[in-house]
Structure 1
Amino acid sequence: MPDPGQGRSLLNLERVSKAYGVRPLLSDVSLGVAAGERIGIVGRNGDGKTTLLRIMTGAEEPDEGRVSRQRGLLVGVLAQHDDFDDSHTVREVVLQGKADHEWAADARLREIVDVLLAGVDLDRAVAGLSGGERRRCALAGLLLGEHDLVILDEPTNHLDVEAVAWLAAHLAARPSALVVVTHDRWFLDAVCQQTWEVHDGVVDSYEGGYAAFVLAKAERQRQAAASEVRRQNLVRKELAWLRRGAPARTSKPKFRIDAANALIEDVPPPRDRLELQRFAAQRLGKDVIDVEDVDFSRGTRQLLSHATWRLGPGDRVGLVGVNGAGKTSVLSLLAGEAAPQVGRVKHGRTVALQHLSQAVAFDDPEARVLATVEGIRRVTRTADGEISATSMLERFGFTGDKLTARVGDLSGGERRRFQLLRLLLTEPNVLLLDEPTNDLDIETLNVLEDFLDGWPGTLVVVSHDRYFLERVTDSVWALLGDGQISMLPRGVDEYLERRAQAMHLKVAPPPAAPAGPVVDRVAAEEPAGGSRSTAKPGSAEERAAKKTVARLDKVLARLAEREAELTAELAAHASDPGKLTEISQSLGELHEEKEAAELEWLEAAELLE
């Protein structure tokens, strides 16, 4: 049965306009969000996506127009920057001070904490967290709450591929409405039912996620482009055929599929892989980078153990792994910026390598954009021929006043684009890219992908952006924590499957104790090593633990209801000392019962980890 609340209006913008200085970001925009809708927002950096979110949440007021919200609407917001008090602990800012047994007894809360706060000490001060850890804490704190509408601004920043996949599944299963700004195109497809494109002061709405948005936008552009004579002739022929027949008899879904096929049937593949590899072999020679029997450690952690990996001319490789697996360190090893403890990393004689790191820094912030680029190279050779420095800048979004802007005045996204462009102008034949999509909007990502399509060199990419990874690479390799670099024939899907299997592996239990009386309570034995054991899959111990967890879930739910009732009674009898004493005594007994049940639940749950 459908949810009776589904489809009711939660928030509406009516003829809203907003400008900064003389530049209009939103002009006469009208749109709305209904209960249960999941909407993705895309657009160029600086075109007003975050401003639109801030107007929707009330953080900014429009210059003109009206914003109406349902009375009592509960809105959860993830901004690009958190407002944590650095003197507080993670437990205080994320879990509101809850003890472990309080949140761990709720399966939904436990999953959020386990995924987003993995490896983060809950009693650690916020001041000592990295930017990525702070971001995950902010996201976890939001998801732990209950909201009618969730608004997220770049939620996948600092998340690895595995966490992004989990977040997509979690948001798709939540009953709340969702509005999300993101440049992660795989995430848009996995989560969103509508796409809003913010551009030139207007917001265009498209049904579906990113793939549907691209198709619909291409169709709109095709219909509007009078210069595309052949395509227009096809449209006219199609219309003439429809006028002769009965359009009502045509199945709409089939018609849309046929239209999509007609639109793309004459489009070539993104790149000719064999041709590029042939061209790369001419430039690079047979040997590129050989990692031979390498042991490699960072600090006390060993990342590679007797690892061998060979990169040849024209190889296009994606490297994945959880945060902290050592992906960035492996790129430094390939670049020659770090040395292995054992073994060697050998570069071919013709290798011209460039490494795009995550840090964005420039030697001279006073330098001008065009002058800096022309100082590197005025004309660059590409697979399609020569291209001038100015044309390359325009291709990467630097036009007009941006050509003479100071490097130090560029925004974060512009700095990232400029950093990447400077590397490409040196005409490398080996590129190592560490999170190249950070701070880049979808339009710039498309430009970068188009450039790499015709770039005939060896490419190694580390990225949490699954769409970009699958779009520009031909094979995926992974750091799985076993000291090797493993090839994954089925790509990211195989990586996620193998990670899921690794997370569910059970540790063998200690030798069975002498037979004794069976007790109802499942007790976790403490082995000699000091850590708790897990139950063997399919064993009687595991079945008993599952029954105990299921029983205690119901017990804890009943106790929580009773606690709420007693708390309400306390407020109702505030003027009756005798009744207050009676209720307080009952509450004390209930808290003792609840604490015992929570501890028992934790012991049983540890057997199932």
Structure 2
Amino acid sequence: MAHLLGAEALHLEVPTKTVFDSVTLGVAEGDRIGIVGRNGDGKSSLLMMLAGRREPDGGQVTVRSGTTIGVLDQADVFDAGETVGHAIVGERPEYEWAGDPRTRDVIAGLVGDLDWEAPLDALSGGQRRRVALARLLVGDYEILFLDEPTNHLDVEGIAWLADHLKRRWPRDQGALLVVTHDRWFLDEVCTATWEVHDRIVEPFEGGYAAYILQRVERDRQAAAIEQKRQNLARKELAWLRRGAPARTSKPKFRIDAANELIADVPEIRDRVSLQSMAVQRLGKEVVNLHDAGVSYGDRMILEDVEWLLAPGERTGILGVNGAGKSTLLGLISGDVEPTSGRVKRGKTVKVATLTQRLDELEEHLNEPVRVVIARLRTSFTVGSGSKAQELTPGQMLERMGFTSAQLSTPVKDLSGGQKRRLQLLLILLDQPNVLILDEPTNDLDTDMLAAMEDLLDSWPGTLIVVSHDRYFLERVTDQQYAILDRRLRHLPGGVDQYLELRAAQDRARSSAPTSSAGGASPPEPVRGQEAPALSGAERRAAEKELSAVERKMERLQADIAKSRDGLADLDQTDYQLLNVEMAKITAFEDEVAQLEERWLELGEQLDS
């Protein structure tokens, strides 16, 4: 593959430390590279040096002659008074940009719902982010540098961006370098991972899952180094191997040693013990929504919501911006009263909400971290049953990545990610039994996200999560719901089912193409018409097939559980036998996945 860009002996210093010391890297055609590492270790600085936006203190970056480079910064900067359309296509005549398939695809995928003539100053941060992405992606570049491209994007926007980047260049052409904390996005798009740490850049093959596998193997070989990080990575690896086997089937390296590490690792959560503890703390009744609805004047936000929250339930909530997610959370917490139906709460329910703001820290900004924590509980119980462990607040802070020196730092001087972690600890130390997390992953790097997930694994209560971070949502919750057309809908198929339903909604909306003179509106994709209703015979046949599919899925799930239980009785050193059994389990899971797709298709037919 042809060389596009090279960096030799890069050196970078800031007033308090050396960020990079003699870093040498290369980027070739076909590279799709994700850049990960702790906040403050230099990910964005590396990206900007390679893109030519920042001069290194030593070394040099060379780019192949004629190579075109596109850059997405973390900040979305536009000219004063600029409109959506002008920001994206500039002065290009409409016939030119409207006739370009890539431009039409980008506009439809990112800004199709925005007013083409709307001033950017009037847009939200998420809308401005989409315009900035569209402005970049309509261009023709050989290398794209993206710094946190998924910030402010919802699940659908992130899925569209991943699909676009996978299709943007032919195989072995173009190059992508992306800094992001979105682990699903890294797995979906990247074929290589660079970890920035300790003034170096360490390359790994594959996306995030492959990177975790290799990092565990690296840590195994140096077991005395960073023991706490190794244990955390082992736990995350166990989830990756068990929860998403397809992600780890592609790396071209030996993983036998890594498999040894997780041979005796239990499930990430002891659901039985956590459920028992949740019942003890909450009783059998938590929060029940009966035909609940909320309207503001003539505008209906939610209607006919029927939801009985169980003790220990872990649920993710999906929905487009403005669908009513925050209103639903308000019904649960008591901050919003229903305008129809009713909400009933158990007598022992104590709800806490981790909001997108940092309200809990406002009164403590001038106090050192240790003083803030000392006012709260002297201990905190993690785990359950025989694995329960009492931790001091200081140990809790250490578990969430705070160093001893940072305990004396005033809260106002903490980074955004540190404030976010402290906010969560303050809430947990108050011992709620219903926890609502509203976009909790903001400002956290991948290691700190894993630490938060690890902490939540041992939290015995009812958990409700709203997040655009698909990996986090699937990792910490056991089921997902979506707000669609003002109603709450269960998603047995998880996030994939939600994306399919949203796509079906778009197809069902018939809209005539509109394009007024002067380029006043972007081109609209042609939508399909609603499918005709089933006849009586067709409906009976679909219902019969649906029942058969459900029975077969249940049998296969039982076979999978039985096979997994049988792994414990096998000789753990007989890798050939273990591989055969794992292949059998994978085949079962693949068949279940195919049946789930058919189940979703039949369900949509019967719902129409």
Q: TM-score, normalised by structure 2?
A: 0.76
Equivalent-residue separation in structure 1 for 2:15 and 2:147 (angstroms)? 24
1:363 aligns with 2:362: yes
**Could you tell me which residue of structure 1 aligns to residue 26 of structure 2?**
32
Alignment of 1:380-459 (within 5 A): 380-383=380-383, 384-459=388-463
* Per-residue CA distance 1:508-531 (angstroms, 9 max, x = gap): 99xxxxxxxxxxxxxxxxxxxxx9
Specify which of 10, 14, 20 is matched with residue 14 of structure 2: 20
For structure 1, the residue ranges without an aligned partner over 5 or more in a row are 1-6, 230-251, 510-530, 540-609
User: Could you say which residue in structure 2 is the equivalent of 1:322?
Assistant: 320
Q: Deviations over 1:172-210 (max 9, x none)?
A: 111231000001111000000000000111111000000
Partner of 1:243: none
Q: CA deviation at 1:115?
A: 2.1
Alignment partner of 1:91 out of 73, 77, 85: 85
Q: Take 1:293 and 1:274, find their aligned partners in 2: how far apart are those partners?
A: 30
2:60 is equivalent to residue 66 of structure 1: yes
Q: Which amino acid aligns with 1:41?
A: I
Aligned counterpart, 1:465: 469
Residue 395 of structure 1, CA deviation: 1.4
Is the counterpart of residue 499 in structure 1 residue 502 in structure 2? yes
Deviation of residue 118 (structure 1)? 3.6
Residues 353 and 429, structure 1, Cα contact 8 Å, conserved in 2:
yes
Cα shift at 1:367: 2.0
Find the aligned partners of 1:202 and 1:108 in 2 and give their Cα distance.
Answer: 37
Deviation at 1:408, TM superposition (A): 1.5
1:296-311 alignment, distance < 5 Å = 296-298=294-296, 301-311=299-309
Q: Report the equivalent of 1:575.
A: none
* 1:342 aligned residue: 340
Shift of 1:260: 4.0
Percentage of identical aligned residues: 50
In the alignment, is the contact (CA less than 8 A) between 1:155 and 1:182 conserved in 2?
A: yes
> Retained in 1: the 8 A contact 2:314–2:463?
yes
Contact 2:205 2:251 in 1 (8 A): no
8 Å CA contact 1:12, 1:31 repeated in 2: yes
Amino acid across the alignment from 1:363: E
Distance, in Å, in 2 between the alignment partners of 1:297 and 1:311 is 22
**Residue of structure 1 equivalent to 2:570:** none
State how far apart, in whole Å, the 2-side matches of 1:142 and 1:508 are: 28
Q: Deviations over 1:233-267 (max 9, x none)?
A: xxxxxxxxxxxxxxxxxxx9898254443332121
AA at the equivalent of 1:409: D
Deviations 1:92-114 (A, max 9, x none): 21221456665343332122112
1:369 to partner: Cα distance: 1.5
Closer/same/farther in 2, CA of residues 96 and 298 from structure 1, 3 Å limit: farther
- Alpha-carbon distance in 1 for matches of 2:117, 2:42: 38
1:115 to 104, 109, 129: 109
Distance in 2, matches of 1:448 and 1:293, equals: 34
More displaced stretch, 492-501 vs 111-120 = 111-120
RMSD of aligned residue pairs (Cα, Å) = 2.5
Matches of 2:470 and 2:42, distance apart in 1: 25
For residues 116-515 of structure 1, the aligned pairs below 5 Å read 116-175=110-169, 176-225=174-223, 256-298=254-296, 301-361=299-359, 362-364=361-363, 365-383=365-383, 384-481=388-485, 483-505=486-508, 507=510
SS state of the match for residue 407, structure 2? Answer: helix
Secondary structure of the equivalent of 2:362? coil
Relative to structure 1, the CA distance from residue 292 to residue 407 in structure 2 (aligned partners, 3 Å threshold; closer, same or farther) is same
Q: Secondary structure at the match of 1:256?
A: coil
Distance 1:228 1:377, change over 3 A: closer
Native 8 Å contact 1:508 1:536 kept in 2: no
Deviation at 1:371, TM superposition (A): 0.9
Instruction: Sort the Cα spacing of 1:136 and 1:406 in 2 relative to 1 into closer, same or farther, 3 A.
Output: same
Q: Gapped runs of 5+ residues in structure 2?
A: 228-249, 513-523, 533-608
Q: Return the alpha-carbon distance in structure 2 between the equivalents of residues 390 and 538 of structure 1.
A: 59
Q: Using the alignment, how far apart are the partners of 2:252 and 2:358 within structure 1?
A: 48
CA separation of 1:445/1:227 partners in 2, compared to 1, >3 Å: closer, same or farther? Answer: closer
SS at match of 1:145: coil
Write out per-residue CA displacement over residues 97-143 of structure 1, whole angstroms, 9 at most, x where no aligned residue.
45666534333212211221143212111111111111111111111
Q: Give the SS at the match of 2:254.
A: helix
Q: Which stretch shifts more, 148-157 or 168-177?
A: 168-177
Q: 1:277 to 1:466 in 2, by over 3 A?
A: same
Cα shift at 1:393? 1.2
Note if contact 2:87-2:135 (Cα within 8 Å) is conserved in structure 1.
Answer: yes
Contact kept, 8 Å, 2:507 with 2:529, in 1: the verdict is no
Q: What is the TM-score normalised by the length of structure 1?
A: 0.76
Distance 1:538 1:37, change over 3 A: same
C-alpha distance in structure 2 between counterparts of 1:377 and 1:199, whole Å? 35
Separation (CA, whole Å) in 2 of partners of 1:56 and 1:532: 37
Deviation (angstroms), 1:357: 1.1
Q: CA deviation at 1:533?
A: 11
**2:506 partner amino acid:** M
Could you tell me whether the CA contact under 8 Å between 1:381 and 1:427 is conserved in 2? no
Q: Give the Cα–Cα distance (whole angstroms) in 2 for the partners of residues 144 and 227 of structure 1.
A: 46
Greater shift, 129-138 or 39-48, is seen at 129-138
* Count of residues in correspondence between the two structures: 489
Deviates most, 111-120 or 101-110: 101-110
* Structure 1, 395-404 or 283-292: larger mean CA deviation: 395-404
| 1:289–1:106 Cα change, 3 Å | same
Distance between the aligned counterparts of 1:12 and 1:30, measured in 2? 8
TM-fit CA distance, 1:448: 0.5
Distance in 1, Cα, partners of 2:491 & 2:464: 15
- Distance in 2 (CA, whole Å) between partners of 1:220 and 1:33 is 24
Note the alpha carbon deviations across 1:308-332, whole angstroms, 9 max, x for none: 1111100000001112212122112
CA contact (8 A) 1:38 1:192 kept: yes
1:390-427 Cα deviation digits (max 9, x unpaired): 11111112213321112122222222222112111111
Q: Which moved more, 1:295-304 or 1:311-320?
A: 295-304
Deviations 1:448-489 (A, max 9, x none): 1001111111000001111111111000100112x2211111
The letter of the residue matching 1:13 is A
**Aligned 1:575-590 pairs, distance under 5 A:** none
- Conserved in 2, the CA contact under 8 Å of 1:15 and 1:64? yes
CA distance in 2, matches of 1:536, 1:137: 29
Q: Is this contact kept in 2: 1:222–1:228, CA < 8 A?
A: no
Structure 1 partner of 2:567: none
- Cα deviation for residue 537 of structure 1 reads 7.8
